[in-house]
Structure 1
Amino acid sequence: MVKVKFLLTACLVLIAGQAVFSQSFKVGFGLVDEQRWFASQISLDTLIGYEQTNGSTGYPMPFVSYQYPVSEKIQLNIGIQYHESRIAFAVEYTSDSWPDHIPSIGKGWGTATRNIEIPLGGSYQLIGSEKVKLLLDLSAVPVFAIQDFEKLEIEPQGIDWTQEVIDALNASETIPKSFYMNFQYGLSLEYKSFGLTLFRTNNINRSISNGYNLYGQDYTYQRRTQSTRLGLYYRFEFKKEKE
């Protein structure tokens, strides 16, 4: 939180000390393609738990952003963007008493988070004309992840849905962190007031996981994500009169 306060203070100081240029406000909508990687594997008594990382995503992402130019080519940005993401957790269960044609059984569940992201950064105009602009964007992004967990409600049955399997899947609730930091970088192409933005987001933190806790025992469980975001926006421009 200290880093976030420092970034906000720095932005306010720069804004206060600069001449007044034309300011703008962007409203947009995009899609998030998120990849999970560097996920750990948990080995329990008869179970192996892990995050499924091979699924493709297409989460919607509304966003707004305020731009304050400090020169003809450089502008400061502060915004807010929102999207959901999921942790697809799976367990593999095996037993020496099973026949050879059933080496293991896999079950999956997981949890979701509603992510509120606050990009703090700037843009540099690479190419500019009266109608067309190409901008290089770079931001630090505090992320507040609000968990939306739905417990797996099922009674133990058979050789696959044992109580241990059910409990191990429900323990995915303990994995996600509620706050972490990202950084994002990309390009924005504007024509008049319409814009197309493409950027990549990566974690600053070495892991965005609290770990994994089952039956009161903590297990090391590291995970990271990266995403590609594509969005369209409309820019409202306004000017502030000098006093």
Structure 2
Amino acid sequence: MRISLLIAVLLCLSIKSIGQDLRIGLTTVEERSFSNSLVRLDSVNVFEQTQNGASYLMPFVKVDWTLSERFYSSFGIQFYRSFVTLTASYTSELFPEHSPFISKGGLTTTNNFEFPVGVSYLLIKKKKFKLFLELSAVPVWSIQDFEPFDLEVPQGIDWTQEILDVINAVETIPDPFYMNYQYGISVEYKRFGLTFFRAANMSRSISTDYELYGQSYNFQRRIRSTRIGLYYSFGLKKKDRE
């Protein structure tokens, strides 16, 4: 299934909904990963390379319904691609004295489809200016686009088949489904809007165990992100928030 086709279908479904406002926008996601897991395999240590502020683009669509004069419910669709990076640090008696260990890395790409469901509160409304407080629960489907690292081995002391297998086992880490929450504000002037959100995981870990040669190892990881975006709001009914 092509990602662009799926996004187009979901967009069409949103437009046909009965919501009063449709937001279409683009967000920058500044993501940080956190992992304290270290897997020890004889002379090899395996851990996730921490990402501090990795930046991704995320298009989104959001539909709002009126609950009362101040409260609104919403459903959205948003998508971005991110990476899980694994590092293998290992030693060998064959290494020269000035190189006590060598590190190799691999990664897997995840296509993250998020479906925020939430509420917003109209805090300020002055003429064409509006300020909303927003809170959402966010189911996330994470679909991997994994390409194994391929190299003919053995090829020198730096590479072995075991190291290739250890790196390629990064594929076993990401959880295909987890829950996030996000909160923040949206500021609108006329139909143009600016969003600022924080997002984090609801569970203690969004990974499955690290698996190698049929053995499973505990591997916990979490991510947090800051999201800043611009959008345009379409009125789907004559009587909208205006």
TM-score, length basis structure 2? 0.88
CA–CA separation in structure 1 for the residues paired with 2:106 and 2:95 = 24
2:37 equivalent among 37, 40, 60:
40
Mapped contact 2:35–2:50 kept (Cα < 8 A): no
Query: Are 2:28 and 1:31 equivalent residues in the alignment?
Result: yes
Deviations, residues 103-147 of structure 1 (Å, cap 9, x unaligned):
110111110110110000010111111211111110000000111
CA–CA separation in structure 2 for the residues paired with 1:240 and 1:213 = 55
**2:53 aligned counterpart, secondary structure:** coil
What is the Cα deviation at residue 217 of structure 1?
0.4
The AA in structure 1 aligned to 2:142 is A
The AA in structure 2 aligned to 1:89 is L
CA–CA separation in structure 2 for the residues paired with 1:206 and 1:134 = 32
2:182 equivalent among 184, 190, 193:
184
Query: Are 2:50 and 1:56 equivalent residues in the alignment?
Result: no
2:202 equivalent among 201, 204, 208:
204
Deviations, residues 155-189 of structure 1 (Å, cap 9, x unaligned):
12111111111110000000001100000001111
CA–CA separation in structure 1 for the residues paired with 2:149 and 2:52 = 21
What is the Cα deviation at residue 39 of structure 1?
3.9
Structure 2 match to 1:138: 135
**1:154 aligned counterpart, secondary structure:** coil
What is the Cα deviation at residue 238 of structure 1?
3.0
CA RMSD of aligned residues (A): 1.5
Mapped contact 2:181–2:199 kept (Cα < 8 A): yes
1:235 equivalent among 219, 233, 236:
233
Query: Are 2:168 and 1:165 equivalent residues in the alignment?
Result: no
| Distance verdict in 2 for CA 1:84–1:221, change over 3 Å | same
CA–CA separation in structure 2 for the residues paired with 1:135 and 1:56 = 26
**2:25 aligned counterpart, secondary structure:** strand
CA–CA separation in structure 2 for the residues paired with 1:30 and 1:238 = 22
What is the Cα deviation at residue 41 of structure 1?
1.2
Deviations, residues 171-221 of structure 1 (Å, cap 9, x unaligned):
000000110000000111111100000101100111111110011100000
Give the gaps of 5 or more residues in structure 2. 1-17
Deviations, residues 14-42 of structure 1 (Å, cap 9, x unaligned):
xxxxxx9x811100011111100134111
The AA in structure 1 aligned to 2:151 is I
Identity level (%): 51
What is the Cα deviation at residue 97 of structure 1?
4.0
The AA in structure 2 aligned to 1:207 is S
CA–CA separation in structure 2 for the residues paired with 1:39 and 1:75 = 39
**2:171 aligned counterpart, secondary structure:** helix
TM alignment of 1:112-123, pairs within 5 A: 112-123=109-120
TM alignment of 1:66-77, pairs within 5 A: 66-77=63-74
Query: In the comparison of the two structures, how many residue pairs are matched?
Result: 221
**2:149 aligned counterpart, secondary structure:** coil
Mapped contact 2:94–2:157 kept (Cα < 8 A): no
CA–CA separation in structure 1 for the residues paired with 2:80 and 2:93 = 44
**2:96 aligned counterpart, secondary structure:** coil
TM-score, length basis structure 1? 0.87
